């Protein structure tokens, strides 16, 4: 090429053509390639082109496409306030308050890295593949632009053009009657035309707001299929400028989820003599998301929304592509269902016509009403506005979103009216954050939104399949420990209500106190002297009128449990009075049943009304006698400090210092933190936690308040505000804080676990069960969720559900034994029985088998015998409930834990268990008491 030929021929351009490889020449100034004219000469006037295969006509009256520069500066009526926390069941139910506390999110990564996934669905869900069609079959037989999509191409006009008048059809070429601008909707290329001496046109594929899309064959590169996108109107200077700008950087973009730009060429139109520009792109065969969504129909003909898991899979792939663009300082601007195609098992963005640089303040802005964020008209596009379009697209795909371009153009419908929002709260919260009117409160990056969307997808798939899909969190560590594994209060009374014989007065141990609960062998059900199973609990035992610090059965008095007139600081069943639980006239600061009065659980009777012990779990509508006081209430401060801890921000100045800390005790940690080079957010947060662990709540709150003044929107500060609320008793404030964290990170496990605990201590058992179930279904490594769910199920009277939950704790967990022990007690503890209850017999047999299998799990002999005694005691009650000495017909000839399922066999079994416990006892007094219990249950014999 001569020097003259190397000089750019375009008027006003002083650049020169450079060979960029493979013989392709591009101007080093304007970025355009030379045009090969029919006479073989190089030279042309500058033109431009922009893509638009999936876009509708411009203007709000068109098919949805719009140019921001031509839009009215509308703003959302809700854009001045956040929609955050509107989805929280818990926060709405607390006290009607709403939180003004905001949560800003720092990006957890740039999102620039390539995807490590090899297929659509993130390995979590199978998305039906779309076969690659024959490209020739996609060519339109009669390419026309429908009249309803014909508008003037001038950005400041947009008037309808080419419309029919009476019997006369609309013109495909002419001039706008409003502004006089020319228009043409006739394809400029026909089959057989060769563009740039290389691309042979096959026909038209589609049309859009900015041009026709042609299928062609690249004769210079293995006859590969390519797509040519041309300008609709070469007189539109905005469109030409956008096309030229597009060519300069889009050819450098290479990503598996973005259509490849091969070339930018120009072609002389023989009919008009104009020189038209075209973008040469990769051919992507498949279906657009719009076609996939519209192809799903109900029998009534209405659109059937995509399964939420399939939509999430599409969203994750789209965010991968957007993250790549953002890493190159580019914005996509117009993501929607039209602009993404699934081909086989891959999703690709196909329309790059609206892509612009982040620092571009001159180019026209393209977008679509219903997808574009409300602030773009005023401040322009941004990363946040791109993420907004993904949120809107997910909404359009997952439910019949009527009015998304009008009434709900920048808002979401009430979640109570949308089935997918009611079923998947986390998905709704993700959409709420992605489409927040305040751009600063949306996700900070495409990578962060993709991580949270993947977390939501894991939850959805786990709920649908019943198989957990856990993953390591980038924001939170694992559970610190599992607390409250002992669901039931310790049983120190009689294991059988009907089978224990009373001892005559005057016997040596009639009024002798049983050793305090802590002195005996540890029971998995608890270590404190609380109201428990049949027989109640108290610090002593007295029988048949015995006096002293014991439990009175039929008249006993003392600081124990009275069954029938017993008085004292224990539990009275039948006239018992004192600071315990009275069943039948009991009075005191405990739980009264049938007349009990006091600040405890109980049915209203002669003594007073039902009340709730501070911190105890209560159910809406009240609990029956069988379940009230059945389980130990959650220890909120201890459980709060066992919640997952936020990971240290790698960007914190003291991140390395904290990673090297060896101190584990809170006191030692405070001393070590004082030696930090300089205080930072992370060291101060660690200090707050250490102060809470040492019991210095005032100091922790003061330090937290100081940090909150400096960093009010830091999500870690909000998390520790919730933590402090649980420790100090501000349960409502804690629920509001954790609800804000859930809004910010809907794909994380930790905030749901924290909200479950808040709901439980607030007495909202239904909400607590729902949050615990979400956590346990999604990630079984959080075993505290299983115990929490079982606890609220038992408090709500669902024994069968609690047993299923406890038995679902995997054998690989160190808490499997505790869960199996709790499952045994959940079947039988304080359960009312009668002889004809066949279901009770099934539970007895299942509990006995569970006890026998616990040897495999390493249950120590003392606890095994104690558990065996409880099962045998319940079985004896069941046998005796049918009449003294009678065997219920359902019992047959079965055995239970090696004992016959009749009164004699069960009594021998109880005697054996108590004598074994006596041999394992740690003290003389305890051993004597256990031997006497064995004697009380031993059947009457001559020897």
Closest CA to 823 of 488, 393, 571: 488
pLDDT at 374: 95
Structure tokens at 464: 């649908």
Q: What is the pLDDT of residue 537?
A: 36
Judged against a pLDDT cut of 70, whether residue 363 lies above it is answered with yes
What predicted TM-score, i.e. pTM, was given to this entire model? 0.76
Contact criterion met (CB below 8 Å) for 355 and 325: yes
Lowest mean pLDDT among 271-285, 629-643, 707-721, 896-910: 271-285
The arithmetic mean of pLDDT across residues 191-213, rounded, is 87
At 103, the pLDDT band (50, 70, 90 cuts) reads: low
Please report, rounded to a whole number, the percentage of residues in the chain having pLDDT higher than 90.
50
Task: Look at residue 22 and tell me whether its pLDDT is greater than 90.
Answer: no
Place of tokens 């459980």: 639
Alpha-carbon distances, residue 172 vs 49, 147, 160, 184, 188 (angstroms): 20, 9, 12, 6, 12
Mean residue pLDDT of the chain comes to: 78
Confidence tier at 10 by pLDDT (50, 70, 90): low
pLDDT of residue 40: 37
In the chain, what percentage of residues exceed pLDDT 70? 70
pLDDT at 113: 45
Higher per-residue pLDDT: 39 or 680: 680
Q: Per-residue pLDDT tens for 527-539? A: 333 333 333 333 3
- The pLDDT of residue 419 is 95
Asked if 498 and 903 count as a contact pair (C-beta separation under 8 A), the reply is no
C-alpha–C-alpha distance, residues 693 and 104, integer Å? 27
Among 238, 334, 714, 929, the active-site one is 334
Q: Is the pLDDT of residue 764 over 90?
A: yes
pLDDT (0 to 100) of residue 439: 96
Q: Please compute the mean of the pLDDT values over residues 674-687 and round it to a whole number.
A: 91
Yes or no: say if 716 and 685 are a contact pair by the CB < 8 Å rule.
Answer: yes
**Mean pLDDT of the 314-339 span:** 95
Query: Cβ(538)–Cβ(550) under 8 Å?
Result: yes
- The pLDDT assigned to 212 comes to 84
Q: Which three-class secondary structure string do you get for 674-742?
A: HCCCCCCHHHHHHHHHHHHHHCCHHHHHHHHHHHHHHCCCEHHHHHHHHHHHHHHCCHHHHHHHHHHHH
Residue 552 reports pLDDT greater than 50:
no
d(CA 459, CA 453): 10
Which pLDDT does position 188 carry in this prediction? 87
- Residue 727 has what pLDDT? 96
Confidence of residue 503 (pLDDT cuts 50, 70, 90): low
Handedness of CA 488, 489, 493, 497 (dihedral sign): negative
Would you state the pLDDT for residue 25?
A: 59
Using DSSP bridges, classify how beta strands 17-19 and 25-27 pair: parallel, antiparallel or unpaired: antiparallel
User: What is the pLDDT at residue 574?
Assistant: 38
- pLDDT value of residue 5: 56
* pLDDT at site 241: 55
- Report whether pLDDT(555) > 60: no
**Cβ partners under 8 Å of residue 118, min gap 6:** none
**Cα–Cα distance for residue pair 286/348, rounded to 1 Å:** 10
**Angstrom distance (rounded) from CA 536 to CA 572:** 8
Is 359 tagged catalytic? no
Please answer whether residues 205 and 139 qualify as being in contact, where contact means their C-beta atoms are separated by less than 8 angstroms.
Answer: yes
d(CA 244, CA 898): 88
pLDDT band at 381 (very low <50, low <70, confident <90, very high): very high
How confident is residue 219, by pLDDT bands cut at 50, 70 and 90? Answer: very high
| Pairwise pLDDT comparison (485 vs 91), residue with the higher score | 485
- Spell out the SS3 assignment of 143-184: CCCCHHHCECCCCCCCCECCCCECCECCCCEEECCCCCCEEE
CA distance 533 to 866: 13
Greatest alpha-carbon span in the chain:
128
Question: Would the pLDDT of 438 be above 50?
Answer: yes
User: Is pLDDT of 24 > 90?
Assistant: no
CA 585 to CA 608: how far, in whole Å? Answer: 10
The reported pLDDT for the residue numbered 620 is 31
- At 638-656, the pLDDT tens digits run 999 999 999 999 999 999 9
Dist CA 523 CA 540 (whole Å): 17
13: pLDDT strictly greater than 50: yes
Lowest model confidence (mean pLDDT) among 34-38, 343-347, 368-372, 778-782: 34-38
Query: Is residue 23 classed as helix, strand or coil in its secondary structure?
Result: coil
Q: In what order do the strands lie in the sheet with 562-563?
A: 542-543, 552-553, 562-563, 572-573, 582-583, 592-593
Q: Which residues contact 185 (CB under 8 A, 6 or more apart)?
A: 144, 145, 150, 162, 172, 173, 207, 232
Cα separation, 560 vs 631, whole angstroms: 20
- Cα four-point dihedral sign 536, 542, 545, 548: negative
Q: Is the pLDDT of residue 521 over 50?
A: no
Query: What average pLDDT does range 200-215 have in this prediction?
Result: 85
Q: Token digits for 286?
A: 């498949």
Please list, residue by residue across 599-620, b when 16 or more beta carbons sit within 10 angstroms of its beta carbon and e when fewer do.
bbbbbbbebeebbbbeebbbbe
Q: Is the pLDDT of residue 501 over 60?
A: yes
**What's the mean pLDDT in 725-749?**
96
Dump strand ranges (E) for 491-617: 542-543, 552-553, 562-563, 572-573, 582-583, 592-593
pLDDT at 33: 56
pLDDT of residue 211: 73
The model's pLDDT over 428-437, given as tens digits with 9 standing for 90+, comes to 999 999 999 9
SS3 298: coil
Q: Which two tokens stand for residue 652?
A: 């914190």
More confident residue, 881 or 569: 881
């Amino acid at each position: 090429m001569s020097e003259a030929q190397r000089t750019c021929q375009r008027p006003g351009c002083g650049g020169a053509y450079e060979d960029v490889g493979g013989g392709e020449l591009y101007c080093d100034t304007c970025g355009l390639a030379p045009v090969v004219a029919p006479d073989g000469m190089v030279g042309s006037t500058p033109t431009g082109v922009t893509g638009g295969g999936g876009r509708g006509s411009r203007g709000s009256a068109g098919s949805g496409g719009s140019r921001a520069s031509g839009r009215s500066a509308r703003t959302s009526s809700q854009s001045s306030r956040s929609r955050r926390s509107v989805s929280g069941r818990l926060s709405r139910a607390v006290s009607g308050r709403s939180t003004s506390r905001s949560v800003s999110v720092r990006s957890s990564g740039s999102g620039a890295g390539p995807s490590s996934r090899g297929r659509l669905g993130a390995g979590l869900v199978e998305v039906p593949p779309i076969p690659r069609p024959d490209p020739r079959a996609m060519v339109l037989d009669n390419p026309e632009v429908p009249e309803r999509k014909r508008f003037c191409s001038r950005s400041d006009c947009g008037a309808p053009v080419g419309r029919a008048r009476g019997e006369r059809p609309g013109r495909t070429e002419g001039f706008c009657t409003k502004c006089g601008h020319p228009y043409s909707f006739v394809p400029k290329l026909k089959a057989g035309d060769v563009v740039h001496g290389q691309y042979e046109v096959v026909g038209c594929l589609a049309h859009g707001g900015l041009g026709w899309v042609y299928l062609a064959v690249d004769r210079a590169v293995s006859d590969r299929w390519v797509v040519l996108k041309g300008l609709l109107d070469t007189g539109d200077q905005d469109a030409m400028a956008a096309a030229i700008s597009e060519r300069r950087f889009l050819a450098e973009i290479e990503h598996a989820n973005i259509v490849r730009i091969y070339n930018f060429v120009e072609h002389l139109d023989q009919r008009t003599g104009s020189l038209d520009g075209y973008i040469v792109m990769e051919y992507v065969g498949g279906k657009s998301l719009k076609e996939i969504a519209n192809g799903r129909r109900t029998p009534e003909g209405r659109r059937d929304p995509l399964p939420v898991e399939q939509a999430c899979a599409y969203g994750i792939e789209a965010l991968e592509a957007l993250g790549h663009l953002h890493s190159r300082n580019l914005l996509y601007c117009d993501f929607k269902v039209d602009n993404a195609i699934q081909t086989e098992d891959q999703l690709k963005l196909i329309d790059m016509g609206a892509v612009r640089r982040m620092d571009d303040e001159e180019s026209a802005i393209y977008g679509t009403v219903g997808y574009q964020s409300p602030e773009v008209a005023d401040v322009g596009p941004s990363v946040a506005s791109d993420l907004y379009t993904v949120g809107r697209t997910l909404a359009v795909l997952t439910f019949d979103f009527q009015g998304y371009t009008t009434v709900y153009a920048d808002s979401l419908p009430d979640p109570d009216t949308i089935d997918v929002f009611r079923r998947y709260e986390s998905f709704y919260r993700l959409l709420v954050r992605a489409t927040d009117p305040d751009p600063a409160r949306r996700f900070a990056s495409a990578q962060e939104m993709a991580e949270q969307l993947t977390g939501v997808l894991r939850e959805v798939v786990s709920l649908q399949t019943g198989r957990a899909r856990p993953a390591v969190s980038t924001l939170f560590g694992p559970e610190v420990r599992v607390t409250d594994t002992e669901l039931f209060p310790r049983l120190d009374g009689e294991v059988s209500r009907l089978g224990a014989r009373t001892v005559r007065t005057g016997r040596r141990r009639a009024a002798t106190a049983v050793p305090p609960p802590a002195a005996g062998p540890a029971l998995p059900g608890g270590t404190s002297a609380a109201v428990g199973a049949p027989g109640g609990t108290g610090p002593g035992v007295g029988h048949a009128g015995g006096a002293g610090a014991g439990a009175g059965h039929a008249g006993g008095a003392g600081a124990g449990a009275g069954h029938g007139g017993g008085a004292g600081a224990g539990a009275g069943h039948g006239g018992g009075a004192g600071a315990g639980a009275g069943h039948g006239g009991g009075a005191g600061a405990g739980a009264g049943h049938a007349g009990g009065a006091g600040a405890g659980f109980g049915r209203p009777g002669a003594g007073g009304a039902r009340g709730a012990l501070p911190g105890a779990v209560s159910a809406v509508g009240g609990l029956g006698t069988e379940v009230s006081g059945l389980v130990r209430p959650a220890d909120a401060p201890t459980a709060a400090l066992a919640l997952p801890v936020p990971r240290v921000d790698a960007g914190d100045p003291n991140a390395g210092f904290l990673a090297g800390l060896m101190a584990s005790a809170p006191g030692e940690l405070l001393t070590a933190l004082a030696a930090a080079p300089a205080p930072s957010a992370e060291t101060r947060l660690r200090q707050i936690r250490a102060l809470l662990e040492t019991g210095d709540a005032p100091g922790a709150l003061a330090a937290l308040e100081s940090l909150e003044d400096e960093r009010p929107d830091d999500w870690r500060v909000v998390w520790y505000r919730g933590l402090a609320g649980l420790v100090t008793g501000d349960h409502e404030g804690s629920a509001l804080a954790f609800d804000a964290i859930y809004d910010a990170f809907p794909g994380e496990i930790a905030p749901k676990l924290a909200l479950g605990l808040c709901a439980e201590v607030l007495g909202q058992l239904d909400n607590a069960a729902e949050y615990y179930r979400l956590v346990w279904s999604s990630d079984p490594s959080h075993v505290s969720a299983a115990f929490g769910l079982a606890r609220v199920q038992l408090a709500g009277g669902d024994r069968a559900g609690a047993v299923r939950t406890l038995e679902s704790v995997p054998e690989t967990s160190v808490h499997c034994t505790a869960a199996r022990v709790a499952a045994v007690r959940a079947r039988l503890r304080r359960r009312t029985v009668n002889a004809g209850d066949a279901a009770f017999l099934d539970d007895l047999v299942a509990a006995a088998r569970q006890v026998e299998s616990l040897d495999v799990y390493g249950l120590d002999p003392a606890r095994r015998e104690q558990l065996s005694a409880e099962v045998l005691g319940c079985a004896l009650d069941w046998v005796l409930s049918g009449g003294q000495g009678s065997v219920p017909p359902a019992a047959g000839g079965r055995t239970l834990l090696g004992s016959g399922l009749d009164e004699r066999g069960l009594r021998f079994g109880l005697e054996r268990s108590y004598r074994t416990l006596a041999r394992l006892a740690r003290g003389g007094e305890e051993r004597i008491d256990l031997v006497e219990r064995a004697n009380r249950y031993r059947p009457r014999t001559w020897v």
